[in-house]
Amino acid sequence: MAETNRRILSGMRSTNPRLHLGNYEGALRNWVDLQNEGYDLFCMVADLHALTTMAENSGEVSRNAREIAKDYIAAGIDPAKSVVFIQSHVPEHSEAHVLLSMMTPLGWLERTPTYKEKQTDLGGAEREPYGLLGYPVLQTVDILLYKPYGVPVGRDQAPHLEIGNDIALRFNRITGKEVFAPYKYLIPEDENRAKLPGLDMRKMSKSYDNCIYLSDSEDETAEKLKSAFTTPTKLRKTDPGIPEGCAVCQYLRVYSPNWEAAWNEDRAGERGCMQSKKEATEAINEYLRPMRERRKELDGDAIEDILRDGAKRAREFAGATLAEMRAAMGMY
Ligand code: TRP
């Protein structure tokens, strides 16, 4: 009987030291659920990918990577069940990247929407590192080395995953060996969660300074909620609100079981924004409480031990796949 593949791999870049609720709802929550359903999860911090925009701050990228690994674990990734590791601790990724970069058509990379955006942000070819163009190739390596059944990511990553499956097929065709099988994209279905807005109703993002971080304290969360965006024309309790456009009401919908009643009262001018803010704060703090407790247990060097063990387990798997790639290419 064929062995069922239950492996899942995903990662996030270490451009920031902290993950926010948007990162959690958009991707990480799905990883935790899959882990708890019994999938074998490889959970990576993509420090090399962070270097594509932060090579001048490489030390920061590496420090961030530790903090992100702590956020993974605080969010419910269990290092006894899942493999938590830092990308650059598994040098097989770099070697496999060179091999696949020789087989990836330049046109596929130049057409990637994320590349075009970054290119504009960075200000042209003289400021743009060569590594940025290869971003999807490195991401493909991250995935293929673990031969996963599926890759749980946010919707924005779909173009990279498509290139990945194309590169996998191309490798098989060029070498004449079936080394890689296509993997599935596992994208969260609950749109209200996946699109959880920032405090100002724009996309939650560090650059907008509108985030609720997984590691924020109860008081920090309460302070942030106080100045969150609500219906601008609702000045008094009796003014009607528009919950669809109000950040606090969006949080209630995701985190409070009584959100429907709250939305109706908001629309009817039967509740004030202060009350909604208070309830949303309580609901979010309750939601984050287990994460805060797990984070407290992670002090000291615990994370270094976890990452060392994770890199060892990842290298065993990645090393075997890399050997298979070299053999398929006839490289001795
Ligand atoms: N590009 C992903 C992001 O920005 C991070 C990433 C790197 C990744 N390697 C990966 C995601 C492999 C999934 C699989 O979020």
C-beta of 50 in contact with ligand 1 (< 6 A): no
For 285-298, what is each residue's pLDDT tens digit?
999 999 999 998 88
User: Distance between CA 39 and CA 60 in Å, rounded?
Assistant: 32
- In the structure, what pLDDT confidence band is assigned to residue 3 with cuts at 50, 70 and 90? low
> Ligand 1 centroid vs 162 CA: distance in angstroms?
13
Query: Residue 122 has which token pair?
Result: 């960075």
Write down the pLDDT at residue 299. 76
For 197-221, what is each residue's pLDDT tens digit?
999 999 999 999 999 999 999 999 9
For 48-94, what is each residue's pLDDT tens digit?
999 999 999 999 999 999 999 999 999 999 999 999 999 999 999 99
Give the three-state DSSP class for 6. coil
> Ligand 1 centroid vs 78 CA: distance in angstroms?
20
Closest ligand 1 atom to the C-alpha of 139?
9
For 5-18, what is each residue's pLDDT tens digit?
999 999 999 999 99
Write down the pLDDT at residue 2. 55
User: Distance between CA 68 and CA 55 in Å, rounded?
Assistant: 18
For 154-190, what is each residue's pLDDT tens digit?
988 999 999 999 999 999 999 999 999 999 999 988 8
Distance of CA 122 to CAs 46, 127, 129, Å?
A: 20, 6, 9
C-beta of 49 in contact with ligand 1 (< 6 A): yes
Closest ligand 1 atom to the C-alpha of 12?
5
C-beta of 143 in contact with ligand 1 (< 6 A): yes
Please state which CATH class domain 216-293 belongs to: mainly alpha
pLDDT above 50 (res 1):
no
For 119-163, what is each residue's pLDDT tens digit?
777 777 777 899 999 999 999 999 999 999 999 999 889 999 999
Q: Nearest C-alpha to atom 5 of ligand 1 is from which residue?
A: 12
Q: Nearest C-alpha to atom 13 of ligand 1 is from which residue?
A: 10
pLDDT above 90 (res 117):
no
Write down the pLDDT at residue 113. 86
Residues 6+ apart with CB under 8 A from 244: none
Q: Nearest C-alpha to atom 11 of ligand 1 is from which residue?
A: 11
> Ligand 1 centroid vs 102 CA: distance in angstroms?
21
Closest ligand 1 atom to the C-alpha of 46?
7
Residue whose CB lies within 8 A of the most ligand 1 atoms, among 34, 83, 157, for a mutation test? 157
Question: What residues are labeled active site?
Answer: 118, 203, 206
Task: Tell me whether residue 52 is exposed, middle or buried, using C-beta atoms within 10 angstroms of its C-beta: 0 to 12, 13 to 18, 19 or more.
Answer: buried
C-beta of 153 in contact with ligand 1 (< 6 A): yes
Strand order in the sheet with 150-152: 83-86, 40-46, 7-13, 150-152, 184-186
By C-alpha distance, which of 63, 86, 82 is closest to 73? 82
Distance of CA 305 to CAs 54, 82, 90, 249, Å?
A: 26, 14, 15, 41
- In the structure, what pLDDT confidence band is assigned to residue 265 with cuts at 50, 70 and 90? very high
Residues of the chain with CATH 1.10.240.10: 216-293
- In the structure, what pLDDT confidence band is assigned to residue 272 with cuts at 50, 70 and 90? very high
| Mean pLDDT on 108-118 | 88
Specify the CATH architecture of the domain 7-195+299-328.
3-Layer(aba) Sandwich (3.40)
Residues of the chain with CATH 3.40.50.620: 7-195+299-328
